[in-house]
Structure 1
Amino acid sequence: MMLLGRLLSAARFAPNASAATRSSRLLSQMQFHLRRTLLPSYGLGLPHSYSCYNCFKRAMSTNDAKSDRQGPTIRVQDDPSHPFEFTCDEEPHMLGMQRGGPIGYIPLQLGQVFEDLEGGQYEIVRKLGWATNSSVWLAKKKRGLNERYVAVKILTVNYTRGIESGEFFELEVWRRFREVRYKSKWETPAHPGFKHCVEPQAVFTAESPHGTHMCFVEELSGSTLDELQVGQPGFTFPLPVVKRAIKQILLALDFVHTELKLVHADVKAGNVFIQMDAGTEDIERYLRDHPPETYPPRSAPELWSGPIITVKSQPLPNMGLKPSLENLNVALGDFGGAVPLDKISEEVKIVTPPLLRPPELLLGHLWSTPIDVWAVGCMVFECLTGASLFQVERTPKLDETAVHLSRMVEHLGTFPAAFLDKSSKRADYFDETGTLLRVPEPLGTGPLESWFGNFLHIRENMSDADVKATCAFMRRCLAIVPAERATAAELLDDEWFGGR
Structure 2
Amino acid sequence: MLRAIFFRQPHRIARTCAKFRYMSSSPEPTTRNQHFSVDAEGKTVVDLSFASEALGLPAADGYGWAQLEFGDSVGDDQRYTILRKLGCGMHSSTWLARDEVGNGFVAIKALTGHMTGMNEKGVYWEAEALRLLSFRSQDPSFKPSSPHCVRLLDEFILPGRGSAGSHMCFVMPVYGGDVKALVASRKTPFELPTAKRISLHLLRGIAFAHERGIVHTDLKHDNIFFTTELETTDIERWLKEDPSRRHEPELSQDGIIKAAVSQPLPKISDELARRATYVLSDFGCGLPSNLHDDRTITTPPLRAPESFLGGKWDAPADIWAFGCLVFELVVNGTLFKYRVNEKWKLTAIENMLYQMLLFSNSNDGGFQPEQLAAWPLAGQYFNSSCELEKEPTVFHWPLEDIISKRNNAIPSADVVAIAKLMYQCLRLNPADRATAEELLQDPWLEGADA
Could you say whether these structures have the same fold, taking a TM-score greater than 0.5 normalized by the shorter chain as the test?
yes
Q: Which residue of 2 aligns with 1:245?
A: 198
CA distance in 2, matches of 1:149, 1:403: 47
Distance 1:84 1:285 in 2: 40
Kept after mapping to 1: 8 A contact 2:48/2:54: no
Partner of 1:385: 331
Match of 1:181, as an amino acid? R
Query: Is the 1:275–1:329 Cα contact (8 Å) retained in structure 2?
Result: yes
1:8 paired residue number: none
CA distance in 1, matches of 2:142, 2:187: 37
Supply the AA of the counterpart residue of 1:388: T
Tell me the CA shift for residue 433 of structure 1: 0.4
Q: Distance between the aligned counterparts of 1:317 and 1:265, measured in 2?
A: 29
Distance 1:331 1:415, change over 3 A: same
Paired amino acid for 1:448: L
Give yes or no for the alignment of 1:446 onto 2:394.
Answer: no
User: Counterpart of 2:30?
Assistant: none
* 1:176–1:434 Cα change, 3 Å: same
Structure 2 gaps of 5+ residues are 1-11, 19-32
Partner of 1:216: 170
Residue identity matched to 1:384: V
> Of the candidates 185, 205, 208, which is equivalent to residue 231 of structure 1?
185
Letter of the aligned partner of 1:155 in structure 2? Answer: L
Tell me: CA distance 1:449–1:78, structure 2 relative to 1, closer, same or farther (3 Å).
same
> 2:196 corresponds to which letter in structure 1?
K
Residue in structure 2 matched with residue 372 of structure 1 by the alignment: 318
CA offset digits 1:278-322 (Å, max 9, x no partner): 22112111111111111122345xx233x2111000011256x65
1:283 aligns with 2:235: yes
Deviation at 1:494, TM superposition (A): 0.6
Residues 58, 224 of structure 1: CA spacing in aligned structure 2 closer, same or farther, 3 A cutoff?
Answer: farther
Task: Tell me the TM-score normalised to structure 1 length.
Answer: 0.76
CA distance in 1, matches of 2:272, 2:180: 16
Structure 1, residues 95-144: CA drift from partner, whole Å, max 9, x if none? 11354xx411112221111121xx4611110001111010111111112x
Equivalent pair of 2:190/2:329 in contact (CA under 8 Å): yes
- Is the counterpart of residue 313 in structure 1 residue 269 in structure 2? no
Report how far residue 400 of structure 1 moved: 2.4
Contact 1:406 1:439 in 2 (8 A): no
Partner of 2:254: 304
1:107 and 1:395, CA in 2 relative to 1: closer, same or farther beyond 3 A? farther
Aligned counterpart in structure 2 of residue 122 of structure 1, from 80, 88, 107: 80
Contact 2:178-2:221 at 8 Å conserved across structures: yes
SS at match of 2:87: strand
SS of match in other structure, 1:454: helix
In the alignment, structure 1 residue 416 sits paired with structure 2 residue 372: no
1:7-86 → structure 2 map (5 Å cutoff):
56=15, 74=35, 76-79=37-40, 85=47
Q: CA deviation at 1:76?
A: 3.6
The Cα shift of 1:252 comes to 1.1
CA contact (8 A) 2:130 2:283 kept: no
1:87 equivalent in alignment to 2:35: no
8 Å contact from structure 1 (residues 276, 318) kept in 2: no
CA gap of 1:439–1:329, structure 2 versus 1, over 3 A, is: farther
**CA–CA distance in 2 between the matches of 1:106 and 1:168?**
18
Alignment check: 8 A CA contact 1:54 1:73 kept: no
State the TM-score, normalized to the length of structure 2.
0.84
Aligned partner letter, 2:127: L
Q: Give deviations 1:5-31, integer Å, cap 9, x for gaps.
A: xxxxxxxxxxxxxxxxxxxxxxxxxxx
The AA in structure 1 aligned to 2:276 is: L
Q: Report how far residue 393 of structure 1 moved.
A: 1.1
CA contact (8 A) 2:339 2:351 kept: yes
Q: Distance in 2 between matches of 1:183 and 1:161?
A: 33
- Give yes or no for the alignment of 1:156 onto 2:156: no
* Number of equivalent positions: 414
Deviation string, structure 1 residues 135-167 (Cα, Å, up to 9, x no partner): 111111112xx3111110001111112222222
- 2:289 is aligned to 341
How many angstroms does 1:251 deviate by? 1.1
In structure 2, relative to structure 1, the CA distance for the partners of 1:86 and 1:448 (3 Å cut) is: closer
Letter aligned with residue 177 of structure 2: S
CA contact (8 A) 1:337 1:350 kept: no
Q: Over residues 371-416 of structure 1, what are the superposed CA-to-partner deviations in whole Å (9 max), with x where a residue is unaligned?
A: 1111111111111222111012146864322221111112226223
Distance 1:174-1:54 versus aligned 2 partners, 3 A rule: closer
Secondary structure of 1:252's counterpart equals helix
Residues 243 and 497, structure 1, Cα contact 8 Å, conserved in 2: yes
Task: Give distance in 2, aligned partners of 1:476 and 1:109.
Answer: 49
Q: How many Å apart are 1:79 and its aligned residue?
A: 3.0
Rounded Cα–Cα distance in structure 2 between residues aligned with 1:280 and 1:328:
18
- Partner residue of 2:433 out of 467, 485, 498: 485
Deviation at 1:429, TM superposition (A): 1.0
Does the 8 Å contact 1:105/1:156 carry over to 2? yes
CA displacement, residues 35-65 of structure 1 (integer Å, 9 cap, x when unaligned): xxxxxxxxxxxxxxxxxx9554579xxxxxx
Structure-2 separation of matches of 1:182 and 1:450: 47
- Structure 2 counterpart of 1:134: 92
Q: Say if 1:134 and 1:155, in contact at 8 Å, map to a contact too.
A: yes
Distance 1:73 1:158 in 2: 23
Cα distance in 2 for partners of 1:200, 1:286 equals 25
TM-superposed CA distance for 1:445, in Å, is 9.7
1:164-188: per-residue Cα shift (whole Å, max 9, x none)? Answer: 222221121133235x324369xx9
Which of 104, 109, 113 lines up with 2:64 in the alignment? 104
Kept in 2: contact 1:106–1:154 (CA 8 A):
yes
Q: Which amino acid aligns with 2:262?
A: S
Is 1:113 the counterpart of 2:59 in the alignment?
Answer: no
Kindly tell me: are residues 148 and 79 of structure 1, through their superposed partners in 2, closer, same or farther at Cα, counting changes over 3 Å? farther
**Equivalent position SS for 2:128:** helix
Partner SS state of residue 216, structure 1: strand
User: Following the alignment from structure 1 to structure 2, what is the Cα–Cα distance between the partners of residues 387 and 312?
Assistant: 30
The one-letter amino acid of 2:201's match is Q
Q: Is the 8 A contact 1:377 1:477 kept in 2?
A: yes
Counterpart amino acid of 1:385? V
Q: Check whether the contact 2:296–2:308 (CA below 8 A) recurs between aligned residues.
A: no
Deviations 1:425-449 (A, max 9, x none): 110111110001136799x993323
How much is the aligned-residue C-alpha RMSD, in angstroms?
2.9
Change (3 A) 1:384 1:445: farther
Q: 1:368–1:83: structure 2 CA closer, same or farther, 3 Å change rule?
A: closer
Change (3 A) 1:440 1:283: farther
CA distance in structure 2 between the partners assigned to 1:120 and 1:441 by the alignment: 64
Q: Secondary structure at the match of 2:53?
A: coil
